[in-house]
Amino acid sequence: MAAEVETETAQRVKRLERKGIVPGLATVLVGENPASQMYIRLKHSACNRVGIRSENVVLPERSSEEDLIERIMELNGRADVNGILLQLPLPGGLSPQRAMMSILPEKDVDGFHPVNMGALLLGAERLVPCTPRGIIYALERLGKKLEGAEAVIVGHSNVVGKPLAAMLLNRNATVQVCHVFTRDLAEHTRDAEILVVAAGVPALIKKDMVRPGAVVFDVGINRVGDRTVGDVDFEAVKDVASAITPVPGGVGPLTVAMLLSQTVSAAESQAALI
């Protein structure tokens, strides 16, 4: 599915190029977190594959909030930058809130600006967080009927759980959101026709917690020894689920594909305004 989205996105890039527009994504990285550097590289090589021009703005570890916001403002003002992505987490001491707020909402391709989050909650989705968008895309692509479907989300983060809950409600699914404070997790997960797990706990979801035939999305990325594993006991759960995403190689590539797609959407909207 990720490859499919990339192919479609590359075609949209070509259409823009015929109008003389090359979509551009600027990533902003503060400091030298190795995981962040790896994610940034992944995103740039993905841009490269579909013809999006990308650049990386690197600020030193000890940058002030003012420095960061000033750089973002510069990118806001540049016509050749259609999307801006601030790589999280920021180094200690820097709060992401004000920096996020300073990104022009129409260039906020990660969908984290409050005004985009608010539009999402109100059912007028524009740019939205990429992981939830990828999950909705996959469900629709699988032909899963969302209206009336029993969906259970494990994890109530700002990045996945809360926005995904709102997006499923916008499509008239019945939605349960569980998390670390939920008393009997299995009682809830067993209801799920659609189960999305974004808790950050290796093998949290066992076979007996999954309803037969469920579609399971594993958003977890955990290091266990030298392996990367998700939040779902994949080997056991795959026998009861009707579909399940692996870790790595499942939700991750789809999230990146949605970032590309949203960057091109931003470029298309901005081109329509000229």
Chain contacts with its own copies (rule: CB under 8 A): 97, 112-124, 147-148, 150, 156, 158, 161-163, 165-166, 169, 172-179, 181-183, 188
Dihedral pair phi/psi, residue 26, rounded to 5°: -110, 125
Distance of closest approach, residue 269 Cβ to its own copies, in angstroms: 16
Distances (CA, A) of 6 to 12, 189, 242, 249: 10, 32, 25, 15
Distances (CA, A) of 232 to 26, 196, 248: 34, 10, 12
CA distance 107 to 89: 19
Distance of closest approach, residue 164 Cβ to its own copies, in angstroms: 11
When the beta carbons of 168 and 256 are compared against its own copies, the nearer one is 168
When the beta carbons of 12 and 211 are compared against its own copies, the nearer one is 211
Give the active site residue among 11, 14, 37, 43: 43
110 is catalytic: yes
Distance of closest approach, residue 233 Cβ to its own copies, in angstroms: 22
Give the active site residue among 108, 110, 218, 233: 110
- Amino acid identity of residue 183, one-letter, is R
Distance of closest approach, residue 211 Cβ to its own copies, in angstroms: 13
When the beta carbons of 52 and 168 are compared against its own copies, the nearer one is 168
**What string of DSSP letters covers 63-118?**
--HHHHHHHHHHHHH-TT--EEEE-SSPPTT--HHHHHHHS-GGGBTT--SHHHHH
87 is catalytic: yes
Supply the residues annotated as catalytic.
43, 87, 110
